[in-house]
Amino acid sequence: MSQSKSSGLLLRLLASGVLALTAASLSAQTKNSCLDCHSVLPDKLGVTQETFSHDIHSQKGLTCVSCHGGNAANDDPTQAMSKKAGWKGHIDRRQVPALCGSCHSNPDYMRKFDPTLRTDQLAEYHTSVHGKLLASGDTKVAVCTDCHSVHNLRAPNDPQSTVYPVNIAATCSHCHADAKYMKGYSIPTDQFAKYNTSVHHDALTVRGDLSAPTCTTCHGNHGAVPPGVASVPNVCSTCHVFQAQMYEKSSHKAAFDSAHLPGCVVCHQNHAIVHPTDAKLSAQTGGVCMQCHKPGDKCDQARGQILVKLTQLDVAVKQADQALSAADAAGMDVSEARLGQNEARDSLTKARVAIHSFKPDVIGPYVQAGLNTAGKDLKAGQDAMVERDRRRHGLGFSLIAIGLMVVSLRLYINKIEK
């Protein structure tokens, strides 16, 4: 009896001891004395709990100590930030890629958070212009934190992230559009301004197509370098597959290669890629062919033929559209022909893609198919207007008959009421 009492007491004591230790350890784990001071410190040294709570690292359970070392559980700043506690202090820019890479290049460690995440960013960075210049001692170039930010680092799919597709161009422009900062690198600083005028920028920001190209799509992200002259068509062809296939087989491919011209960019430019119009084929201002070709040569003749064909189809599609709109406005149902117009527009798009073959014969069948469809749609629109007129004539006769009936009734009523 007495033995059982004493063993019960012992158990209770043990249990309370374990609980107390667990509580102390939890408190030590969750305590972050860094923020006690740094949340009220100014500028660069200031990090609030609110800011850090949005950081992906904070959300995954990492703390200040994970990067800066030290002992966040200790309230005494001198001990918390002592060498003995492993405190690293401010991370030098030159050390940033290696520090980030210590986790992000470790597949075993990263797998715990996201098995799909790549772990070759640091290796890629070393091959980039940024990485090479940093290795050569240039500390002005971008390191991880310049693009991804620090203490408020969000996942790339977070719309507020600095590397969310819509924000990437602005992030790159922080340095690349700053002429003063870029002085000495002998590269232009108008890329951002030019990109903002491009069809790619429109697709990304206006149409909200997150797959549309931004800086990193063509230059790479961690391994950012300008694409070489020879690789430009390869870069563009990742999206513009058909154009690239036709260009590869065209006479331009060999000619551009031998002249060391950067393929697509010759006609479309690089950052200011505006929506191409048929005017690019013109021999006048706005045309690009005559930059290299001579008036009247074989290629100029082909250019003329292609332009005539495209203009013909473009005009036919517009005429059919007008006729169908007029019929629509008159309340006539031309939905079937409207659907047909999509086909005609598809043919026009295909014909414009086929320009990259630079052969009138290749473009011809697409143009003809489009002309046939647009012709049918135009007729449908014109027929609808004829039908509308027929209806109106029918209405006119009916109204005359109704009017006569009303007058007759009135006369009859007058007669019987006399």
Interface with other proteins by CB under 8 A: which residues?
331-333, 335-336, 391-392, 394-395, 398-399, 402-403, 405-406, 409-410, 412-413, 416-417
Task: Return the percent helix, strand and coil in the chain, to nearest 5.
Answer: 65, 0, 35
For the chain, the maximum distance between any two Cα atoms, rounded to a whole number of angstroms, is 131
> Considering the complex, what minimum distance in angstroms separates the CB of residue 330 from other proteins?
8
* 175 neighbors 142 (Cβ within 8 angstroms): yes
Q: Please, which residue, 228 or 396, has the CB nearer to other proteins?
A: 396
> Considering the complex, what minimum distance in angstroms separates the CB of residue 405 from other proteins?
5
Q: Where are the beta strands (DSSP E) in 80-236?
A: none
| Displacement of CA 17 from its chain's centroid (Å) | 57
Q: Please, which residue, 9 or 402, has the CB nearer to other proteins?
A: 402
Write the CB contacts of 31 (distance below 8 Å, at least 6 apart in sequence): 72, 73
d(CA 385, CA 11): 97
> Considering the complex, what minimum distance in angstroms separates the CB of residue 216 from other proteins?
31
Q: Please, which residue, 40 or 409, has the CB nearer to other proteins?
A: 409
Query: Among all chains, which residue has been given the structure tokens 């772990």?
Result: 119
d(CA 106, CA 310): 55
Q: State the DSSP code for 105.
A: T
> Considering the complex, what minimum distance in angstroms separates the CB of residue 395 from other proteins?
4
How many Å is the Cα radius of gyration of the chain?
Answer: 36
> Considering the complex, what minimum distance in angstroms separates the CB of residue 392 from other proteins?
6
Q: Please, which residue, 249 or 392, has the CB nearer to other proteins?
A: 392
Q: Please, which residue, 315 or 405, has the CB nearer to other proteins?
A: 405
Q: Please, which residue, 18 or 406, has the CB nearer to other proteins?
A: 406
> Considering the complex, what minimum distance in angstroms separates the CB of residue 373 from other proteins?
19
> Considering the complex, what minimum distance in angstroms separates the CB of residue 414 from other proteins?
11
Q: Residue 215 corresponds to which tokens in the numbers above? A: 């800086």
Query: Among all chains, which residue has been given the structure tokens 């020879």?
Result: 230
* 395 neighbors 331 (Cβ within 8 angstroms): no
Q: Please, which residue, 12 or 392, has the CB nearer to other proteins?
A: 392
d(CA 18, CA 8): 15
* 93 neighbors 87 (Cβ within 8 angstroms): no
Q: Please, which residue, 255 or 404, has the CB nearer to other proteins?
A: 404
Query: Among all chains, which residue has been given the structure tokens 């009303």?
Result: 406
> Considering the complex, what minimum distance in angstroms separates the CB of residue 341 from other proteins?
15
